[in-house]
Structure formats: C-alpha cells, structure tokens
A and B are shown apart, each in its own frame.
Chain A
Amino acid sequence: MNTVAEKLLRLYETQPHSVVLHLLLSQEPDKTITYSDLIHGAANYSIGLKNAGIKPGEVVVLILQHGEDLVYGFFGAILNGSIPAIMPFLTEKLSPEQYRHSLIALIEITRPTAVITYPEFLGEVQLAIKPGSSVRKILISDRIISQSDISSSIFEGGLQRTPQDIVLLQHSSGTTGLQKGVALSHQAVFNQLDSYARTIGLDTSDVIVSWLPLYHDMGLIAGFILPILSNVPLVLLSPFDWVRAPAKLFQAVNKYHGSLSWLPNFAYNFCAQKIRPRELEGIDLSSLRAVSNCSEPMYWKSHQMFLERFQPYGLNPRALATCYAMAENVFAVSQGGINHPITIDRISQRGLLVDRVAYPSRNGEEYINMLSAGFPIDNTHVRILNPQQDQVAERHLGEIAISSDCMLTGYYNRPDLNDRAFHEGWYLTGDLGYLADGELYVTGRKKDLIIVGGKNIYPQDLENLASEVKGVHPGRVVAFGIPNEVTGTEDVVIIAEVDDDFAGYPDINLEDSPDCSRIKEEIRLRVTRGSDIALRYVRVVKRGWLIKTSSGKVARGSNRERYLAELTAD
C-alpha cells in the first residue's frame, strides 16, 4: 500500500462491508457508507473522468457542497490518478463576481483539466473559464453514470501512481490562498497518518466526529482522510449545518459514541455560549477521549469555558487536547493532551512582550497561561530560530521551523514561493513560539496572516477589496487581526486613508461626516461580500495617518500596534 489508491482498494477487498462513514446532513436521514459503497460511488467519478480524457497527474477541481458527491468525487479523482483540489463552495453572502474572481485565480495557477460541480453551478463555472484555459471538461454531478460492475481496469490510472507522485492539493481561501496550493505526495500523507495515528493512539474502536470543511487541512486530513484510510468510522456533519445548530456535534457524539474530534479555538467558545440546554438533554459525552484544539491561537479560557459547559454531560477533563498543524506538513506538527494532561505554562507577561523570553512568572507578576501545543509528533523536528535564522535557547521566542518526512512537495506551480519557504532544509512556518521541556508553545505570528474561526485570511485580499471603494486612497489601506476573548478568535480591523478631498475636514469630525460614514459602510459591505469574513471594525483616517515602511509600503504590524495603543488610551 504505497499509494492512496492501493490502500483504498485493499480496504475495499478485505472489508467491503465495514462502515467507513456516517453522513449526517440536515433534513436528511443519516446515511451509512461502507467501503464497498465508497469504492462504487468513487468508481462512477473515476469512469466519468477517464471517459472525459482526464489523465493521471492532472488536477481536478471539485466545487461541491459537503456531502456524498464531494466524498465520491474526491476519491474518484484519486482512483483515476488525478489530483483533487476542493474549492470552497459559494456562501450566502459571497458575491458571485468575487467568487468567479477567486475561481479564475485558482484556475490560472493550478491549471486543472477538469472541474466537477452541480448542474445549477455550470453557468458560473463556464464564466470563469477563459479561451485557451487548461480546463477541458466540466463534469456535472448528477450526470455521473452509476456503474453496477466495477473491474480493476477502471482504476489503472490510480494504480499507476508512485508514492512520490502528488495525491492532492490543499488551498486556503481568498485570491492569495487559492494561488498557493500545497501539493502533497502519497508518501507524505502516509508518513503523517502513521506518525499521527501512533501519537493519538488511534485504533479501530475509535469513532471520529467532524463538522469541519474539507477544503481545510484539519477537516481534510484529521476529519476525513485519516479515518477513511485507517478503517476508523467517521461521522461527518456539514459546517453549514453545524454553525446553525452547534449542538449537532454533541448529538452526533452521543449517538455514535464519538471518541475523537478536532475543533478550532473559536468553536470552544461558540459551543459553550450558543447551545440551548434543551438541545443537550440526555446527551452523554463520556465516549470522547480527545477533543483537539487546532488551527488558530489556543486559549486556556476557551478550554475552561468548554469544560464548565460540557462536564455535566460527561465530558472528561482529560479529553481536552491541543494540536499545532499546517497543510505544509500534511497536518500535525505537534500534539498535546493525549498521554498527559495539557501542560499549562504560566509565564511572565513582561517576559513575553518585552524581553521575548517565556520566563515562568514569579509571585504577583502579571502572567499569561500558555497552552502547550504538546510534543512534536515522532517524524517531525521543531527548531526555534532568531531573525538571523540561528537556533535560539530554550524558552526564547523565535520563528518556528520544522523538518519532517511529510513535508509538502511544493506550492503547486509556484517555484517562486518554494525557494523562500525553506532555509537549509527547514520549513519556515511564519509562526512564533518557544520550546520548553520538549513541548512547543505558539505565541504569535511573524507573517501578516489573519486567522478567523480557524480560516486563514490574507490581509492583502481584504486591503485590495477596500481599496476599490470610492474615496479611499488606493493602496493606503491596512487590514489586521486583533484577538477577541469572547469569541475565542480574531476580529478583523481595516483602516483606510481617504482621498485628499477630505483634507479640509477637522480631524475630530472626519469619522462622523456623512461621506466617511458612506465610505465605511461600503468598505464593510465590499469586504464582507468579497471574502470569508464579516467585517465590523473600520476606521477612516486622513492622508498620512498610516505608518509606511522605508520602501513606502503600509506597515501592517506598526499600524496594528498604533491602533491598539489608541484603543487602550480611549
């Protein structure tokens, strides 16, 4: 079993009737899928792709909602030897123009040869395909023909692949994210799954429950590929349903005796705050042995909130776990809370912020409770580097660099990014942290990335959207994230300089003037409809307010600090 196709087909041959998936979708009865169902469903897509002339090694973009078609389309592409890439589906608030723009960005760089989507979305996809495009075929989900018999010749494309070939692409959202596809090989995926399964003690008595989107590494690997390739049943809910009824996660755990789940930090707050008592009546959560906090900064308070709310329903405090992961390492870099409770490191706030060293806090000193992200998993090495890229001492802050046998093959068709991503064989994560007693703590970010609800948001995408608003001085916009303790994730703030026409306004009245109110409202609307976030906090300032670097670029970090300082002063 050197490739995903071989592994899947072996599972099918040895245990065709073993249940691999319970699909829980709102307003539909729960659907149970065995390996036999999975291979038959996927085979229909493999044949569809093969008949359309889509060859092994070519990229297939899936634009489908969470559900059976997506599951079958994804594995059908792999069984054909093609490389699936899941594109987030259009949301209610996203403008179709912006979605098309994102799709064009994805197609331009990734050069897929096929797209699989719904009939009602065909027109939208066609609009994004320009003359001379790489896309040769659009497959429509409901026109995929059901085959009653499957022979192994169907999968010859998939079986031709070697462990070093790319098995899938994983993107984050927005124009920038969609142009930065993380390409992973079969071997890298297996190396991650083997190491991570050992770390969390995964076995076939486990049941994984997930509502996470499949276009995100946590959802795609931990909440999809890991269970399916490990013969561990997966209970899969849709993020669309979960965000409207978060209790569904716990109802699913109760019904299927879920033992493992992964959540971004905001979900701990969200679940603790937004579930009605009646929705939890009779729920038993004692089957959960690990709920891993992953994919955005983790807060001790979020864990406390979650525990207080769900311990009365049988949640074991030892089930709280942590994980530091990234698509570039397939998934996990480190994991905490499995064999030992999560280490909580009480460090001096001053040490962290001023000295950049995580000293344990002394009596009476202001402190921060840092949640450990655990020990690196056994195939991954972690180093902390200073700006000169030398290794720093224990407890000193620096950039987290990793090396493993499950690294990405590269950013797909982006040699420009590949060169910059590594230093002497170490992948530079752009995250900041420290090591103490072998455990990793993530304290912040060097890169200008915003993470909202576990989703990576590139500030330049938001700034470009805001720059299009009339009255905003083009290029003089800054977007950044600030932590929000109540929601357990980041709030996005945009500051925009207005054109010189506003020079005459007295400073004090600028923000309240009707013109500026209009500009603020338009920025909110344009960014909200053009990205994955809902923008609430906008400031409009006069020309010259924003701090620029020596090369004339808007300095995100400095402006963020200025904004926070003024907020505190108020």
Chain B
Amino acid sequence: MTTDIMQVLSTYISTQILKQPARIILPDEHLLSNGLVDSFHLVDLSIFIEKTFNVLIDDTELNRDTFDSLAQLAAIIKSRM
C-alpha cells in the first residue's frame, strides 16, 4: 500500500510540479531540501493529499523536519488513513 501511495505522489510531483512526466522520483530522494517540491508548491501538495487520500497535512507540517522523501510522506499518509 505504501508503494501505491508513493506511486501516486510521484506521478503528481513529476507531472504537476516538475512538469517532467518522465521523471522518476526515488523513495528516498530529498523532496524539500533538493527543491523538487519548492515552497510555492507545498500547499498544492497538501491539497492534493487531502483530495486523494482524505488525509490532512497541517501547514505547520510542510517542512523537511516532518518529511523530506516520498517514503516519509507516504508513511505519514498511511498512518492517518
């Protein structure tokens, strides 16, 4: 299930944020500290997660201390589903 969540997130980030549909994001790749998800897109990501998984990510959690990879983000989503 975590793999499915990661897949959905990866597709969203590569198509909607990076605008590079072919880009594959590895589970441990740094999302925030490498700027793959820049600050202008953090809200988009949290709105997408809310709509897709019915899981709330608070704005105070949108930082690399909470998650910085697909694996970490998927784990948070899974724990709240």
Residues of A within 8 A of B (CB): 26-27, 91-93, 240-241, 243-246, 270, 274, 276, 453, 487, 525, 528-529, 534, 536-537
Contacts of A534 in B (CB 8 A): 35, 38, 40-41
What is B's interface to A at a CB cutoff of 8 Å? Answer: 18-20, 32-35, 38-44, 47, 50, 59-60, 62-64
A244 in contact with B59 given A274-B47, A529-B35 (CB within 8 Å): yes
The answer to whether A536 touches B18, judged by C-beta atoms less than 8 angstroms apart, is: yes
Show 28 A/B contacts (Cβ-Cβ < 8 Å), sorted by A: A26-B60, A27-B60, A91-B39, A92-B33, A93-B33, A93-B35, A93-B39, A243-B40, A243-B42, A243-B43, A244-B39, A244-B42, A244-B59, A245-B43, A245-B59, A246-B43, A274-B47, A276-B47, A276-B50, A487-B40, A525-B34, A528-B34, A528-B35, A529-B35, A534-B35, A534-B38, A534-B40, A537-B19
Complex Cα–Cα for A20 and B11 (A): 47
A92/B59 in contact, CB under 8 A: no
Q: Which residues of B contact A93 (CB under 8 A)?
A: 32-35, 38-39
From known contacts A93-B33, A528-B34, infer whether A26 and B59 are also in contact, taking CB-CB under 8 Å.
yes
- Grouping DSSP codes into helix (H, G, I), strand (E, B) and loop, the A interface class, with mixed when no group exceeds half, is loop
Select from chain A the residue with minimum beta-carbon distance to B64.
Answer: A92
Which residues of the partner chain B approach A92 to less than 8 Å between Cβ atoms?
A: 32-33, 39, 63-64
CB-defined contacts of A276 to chain B, threshold 8 Å? 47, 50
Contacts of B40 in A (CB 8 A): 243, 270, 453, 487, 534
CA distance A246 to B39 in the complex (A): 12
B55–chain A nearest beta-carbon distance, Å: 14
A373, B64: Cα distance in complex, Å: 39
The reply to whether A241 and B59 contact each other, CB–CB distance below 8 Å, is yes
The reply to whether A244 and B32 form a contact with Cβ atoms under 8 Å apart is: no
Residues in chain B near residue A26, CB distance under 8 A:
59-60
In addition to A244-B43, A244-B62, 16 A-B residue pairs with Cβ atoms within 8 Å of each other are: A27-B60, A92-B64, A93-B35, A240-B39, A241-B59, A243-B40, A246-B43, A274-B43, A274-B44, A274-B47, A276-B47, A525-B34, A525-B35, A528-B35, A529-B34, A534-B38
Question: Chain A: which residue is nearest B42 at the CB level?
Answer: A244
With a CB–CB cut-off of 8 A, which chain B residues contact A243? 39-40, 42-43
Residue of B nearest to A239 (CB): B39
Closest A residue by C-beta to B41: A534
How many whole Å from B20's CB to the nearest CB in chain A?
A: 8
Q: Which residues of A contact B64 (CB under 8 A)?
A: 92
Q: Once the chains bind, are B38 and A528 in contact (CB under 8 Å)?
A: yes
| Chain B residues within 8 Å of A528, by CB | 34-35, 38
- Give CA–CA (A57, B18) in the complex, Å: 46
Q: How far is the CA of A270 from the CA of B41 in the complex (A)?
A: 10
Whole-angstrom distance between the Cβ of A552 and the nearest chain B Cβ: 32
Minimum distance in angstroms from A51 CB to a CB of chain B: 36
Report how far A476 CA is from B19 CA in the complex, Å: 25
Measured CA separation A241–B43 after assembly (Å): 11
* A397-B63 Cα distance, complex, nearest whole Å: 45
CB-nearest residue of chain A to B63: A92
The 5 closest A-B pairs by CB, nearest first: A534-B38, A528-B35, A245-B59, A93-B35, A244-B59
